[in-house]
Structure 1
Amino acid sequence: MQHPHGVQPWGNYLLNGGKEVRSAGLGRLRILSDELILAVLAQLPACSLVTCSATSKALYCFCNHEDLWRALTLQEFEGNFKYQTSWQHTYLAAARLVEPKKQLSHAPLKIQGFYSDLLYQPWFCATTPIREEWLQRDNLERRSGLSIADFRQHFELPNRPVVLSDAAKSWPARKKWTRKYLRKAFKGHKVVAGNYPMEFDDFLAYSDAATDDMPLYLFDCKFAAKAPKLAADYEVPEVFREDLFAVLGERARPDHRWLIMGPQRSGSSFHKDPNATSAWNAVVRGSKKWILFPPHIQPPGVHASADGADVATPVSLVEWFLNFYEAAQHGRVRPLEGVVRAGEVLFVPRGWWHLAINLEQETIAVTHNYVSSAGLPTVLAFLETGRADLVSGCAEDERAHLHDRFVAALRQQRPQVLEACLEEERSKSKMRSLASLFHGDTDAHLQDACKRHKGGCKGPGGADKVTGSPAVFRFNFADG
């Protein structure tokens, strides 16, 4: 299959005789990298892009790059568009410059001798099949009939992922959530896809026709308010029902539940969940491939700032699999990974890096973020850092005060849970003081001292009482 405009990767340059049209077509701009040229073109309005595309073969390829037209469409029309055969066609139809649902008057030109890895890669990722070898590895632990006590002891306290294979098997949503049912449920309301509100029918039309390397997908934290009957079609699995943020009330707590829906290749790139919370993710229809790394292991291809506020990842999920999946298998810690199918629920522990890619054309899931007594110390420590910019899911003016509001509500409604948490922190503080007395001494002496204090150095979740509570994870996770 060939790129629609004839763009080739630079690896083909010598194979094709060493002739290229980029330098002559760009003139003095040829000294700029492809990234800089696209950055300049991204500042232009649509009419200027069209004009530039007619000046040379090289600029034709740049100015017709789908990512530019996707950005223009979303910037100008947000979710108020009906997807056509391409993003350029979609923009022109939304701007009423062409008739919707009619083919454009000209076929794309195929340029000979134009090479660009930057322009070629998104198309290659969008057209590369999801490979079988990416799906074969499955080392996620799977359990059924798991009791609350067993879940807490073996997974929640050690902070380990697990797939609950039977937790959502009997949900009414498994049968009810057809397109017809969801259309009726969302009638009169828009859904959020790619952070933009759009009509549910328009989202379905986009999902069916999109050829993006990273498709938009529905990620809506207000779905239960818009369509209350959807919330009645599933129930929180028993092992996740202790959710201490509930003491704040539904309106005052951070966003915590989302309906997720999207076509094949859509999903979430690597991130840690917001506010140091844990999560569960239940697949209602379709299936998802998950890759998870423990908190202290940064996934290959992912670059995070020291405070975790900014995370740079490959543009698309398929791009990560193409470039980094095999490298991940040979790192010092291999990821946990597997396919989660309809009726199964994945527990995502606090602080774990994770990626999820939808494997079927219509994959639907429900996810909740929550804080139980096992994770409360970490959540309170995170909220107490004073970095309001790292708090997610609240109005901007409420972020800085979330810690105090949460503690006050716990003190009033769950005082025993709060006191147990504070006592644990006091114990850890004593151990830090004790450890400081042995500064510069041998590890053996320090470990002996720890063993004499309450029987060991390990706290909930495997936290080391010498060094204190688990690392405080900071997030800037935009919904979606």
Structure 2
Amino acid sequence: MKLNLQDIPRVKTIKKEDFITNYFKPQQPVVIEGFIKDWPAYKKWSLDYMKDIAGDKVVPLYDDRPVSHEDGFNEPHAEMKMSEYVDLLKSEPTKYRIFLWNILKEIPQLQKDYTFPDFGLKLMKTLPMLFFGGTNSHTFMHYDIDLANIFHFHFEGKKQCILFDQSQNKYLYKIPHSLIVREDIDFSNPDLKKWPALQYAKGWQCELNHGDILYMPEGYWHYMKYSSPGFSMSLRAIARHSKNLGKAFYNVLIMRHFDAMMRKFKGQDWINWKNDQAITRTHKGLK
């Protein structure tokens, strides 16, 4: 038995009006294939190019180790020069990923290689972020703290993406006071006997290739797995729906700080309790 996933619609390009009507207003994901072919980045951006232009930069690296009470918010697990990291990606599979790397801050000249597309949403121009990964590296299933609308531009290689909207929370083994689900669930090949609620979840899937854009609506859960070494850039627009804006403010102003406080005072017992509650609450909901 497999997850109940439907393919995300794909279009070659799209007009602003069509995007707003068919995808933003109904909050449906879409892959846009040919929209950025006139960007310099479409031809220039590769792992080798990033090595050349940013080789001396020390980059933060993350792997798939379980969350610990000792971890700070978005605290990296290791650091490495970009040149060494690209060599690692191209030489062997590695779990190390670059996560939320701000290209405006680190490599300002990369701004010349792209323009901010007009999809009818106001993009946050100070927050273009890069994400890198090697073969079979993956993110945990999570959603972003600000529940933003996300445009995910992929470069080099292939990446598998699985999405769920917030209405599926009751089936996903969501960790309370957190933005993730149980970290021991392999969404690329889940054990539905161990995680039976997942069979009721309805989601989306796609494969991203060089130049593809994935639109992820507000608050969508996303799991990313690199089929081969590659990287992506995300641009975001603030949540426009009042319910999601409210959740975003709660996450940033209350939930994040409450979770940090409980980690400090209860340590690993707090993490263990949350993991247990993810199972208890999900299975209770099924009954």
TM-score (structure 2 length as normaliser): 0.71
1: CA distance, partners of 2:248 / 2:165: 21
Amino acid at match of 1:283: H
CA contact (8 A) 1:328 1:335 kept: no
2:191 maps to 1:320? no
Per the alignment, residue 173 of structure 2 pairs with 303
Q: CA RMSD in A?
A: 3.3
Compute the displacement of 1:336 (Å). Answer: 1.1
2:123 maps to 1:228? no
- Go from structure 1 to structure 2 and tell me whether the alpha carbon gap of 1:337 and 1:325 turns closer, same or farther (over 3 Å shift): farther
Amino acid at match of 1:186: A
- Go from structure 1 to structure 2 and tell me whether the alpha carbon gap of 1:364 and 1:299 turns closer, same or farther (over 3 Å shift): farther
Deviations 1:287-314 (A, max 9, x none): 11111112111386x4223444563222
Per the alignment, residue 366 of structure 1 pairs with 233
CA contact (8 A) 1:147 1:239 kept: yes
Larger RCO of the pair (alpha carbons < 8 Å, separation 6+): 2
Per the alignment, residue 271 of structure 1 pairs with 142
Equivalent residues in 2 for 1:102-251 (5 A)? 139-194=7-62, 195=76, 196-212=78-94, 215-239=95-119, 241-243=121-123, 250=126
Amino acid at match of 2:165: P
- Go from structure 1 to structure 2 and tell me whether the alpha carbon gap of 1:258 and 1:338 turns closer, same or farther (over 3 Å shift): same
Per the alignment, residue 133 of structure 2 pairs with 262
Per the alignment, residue 21 of structure 1 pairs with none
Per the alignment, residue 377 of structure 1 pairs with 242
Of the two, which has the highest radius of gyration?
A: 1
2: CA distance, partners of 1:222 / 1:345: 19
Structure 2: segments with no counterpart, 5+ residues: 63-75, 261-287
Per the alignment, residue 91 of structure 1 pairs with none
1: CA distance, partners of 2:205 / 2:192: 11
- Go from structure 1 to structure 2 and tell me whether the alpha carbon gap of 1:364 and 1:377 turns closer, same or farther (over 3 Å shift): same
Q: Determine helix, strand or coil for the equivalent of 2:80.
A: strand
Q: Determine helix, strand or coil for the equivalent of 1:322.
A: coil
CA contact (8 A) 2:168 2:202 kept: no
Equivalent residues in 2 for 1:14-33 (5 A)? none
1: CA distance, partners of 2:130 / 2:248: 26
- Go from structure 1 to structure 2 and tell me whether the alpha carbon gap of 1:198 and 1:378 turns closer, same or farther (over 3 Å shift): farther
Per the alignment, residue 357 of structure 1 pairs with 225
Equivalent residues in 2 for 1:35-114 (5 A)? none
- Go from structure 1 to structure 2 and tell me whether the alpha carbon gap of 1:221 and 1:379 turns closer, same or farther (over 3 Å shift): farther
Per the alignment, residue 202 of structure 2 pairs with 334
Q: Determine helix, strand or coil for the equivalent of 1:323.
A: coil
Per the alignment, residue 253 of structure 2 pairs with 388
Deviations 1:402-421 (A, max 9, x none): xxxxxxxxxxxxxxxxxxxx
Deviations 1:247-274 (A, max 9, x none): xxx4xxxxx3211222111232211122
2: CA distance, partners of 1:354 / 1:148: 24
- Go from structure 1 to structure 2 and tell me whether the alpha carbon gap of 1:328 and 1:353 turns closer, same or farther (over 3 Å shift): farther
2: CA distance, partners of 1:293 / 1:281: 16
Task: Point out 4+ residue stretches in structure 1 off by more than 4 angstroms.
Answer: 209-212, 325-330
Compute the displacement of 1:209 (Å). Answer: 4.2
Per the alignment, residue 90 of structure 1 pairs with none
2: CA distance, partners of 1:183 / 1:386: 36
2: CA distance, partners of 1:310 / 1:268: 10
Equivalent residues in 2 for 1:435-446 (5 A)? none
Identical pairs, percent? 17
Amino acid at match of 1:370: A
Per the alignment, residue 152 of structure 2 pairs with 281
Compute the displacement of 1:383 (Å). Answer: 4.5
Deviations 1:416-440 (A, max 9, x none): xxxxxxxxxxxxxxxxxxxxxxxxx
2: CA distance, partners of 1:185 / 1:323: 39
2: CA distance, partners of 1:355 / 1:328: 19
How many residues align? The count is 241
Q: Determine helix, strand or coil for the equivalent of 1:303.
A: coil
Amino acid at match of 1:304: K
- Go from structure 1 to structure 2 and tell me whether the alpha carbon gap of 1:143 and 1:328 turns closer, same or farther (over 3 Å shift): farther
Amino acid at match of 1:349: P
CA contact (8 A) 2:55 2:83 kept: no
Q: Which has the higher strand share?
A: 2
Q: Determine helix, strand or coil for the equivalent of 2:141.
A: strand
2: CA distance, partners of 1:356 / 1:145: 23
- Go from structure 1 to structure 2 and tell me whether the alpha carbon gap of 1:341 and 1:384 turns closer, same or farther (over 3 Å shift): closer
2: CA distance, partners of 1:309 / 1:336: 19
Compute the displacement of 1:169 (Å). Answer: 2.6
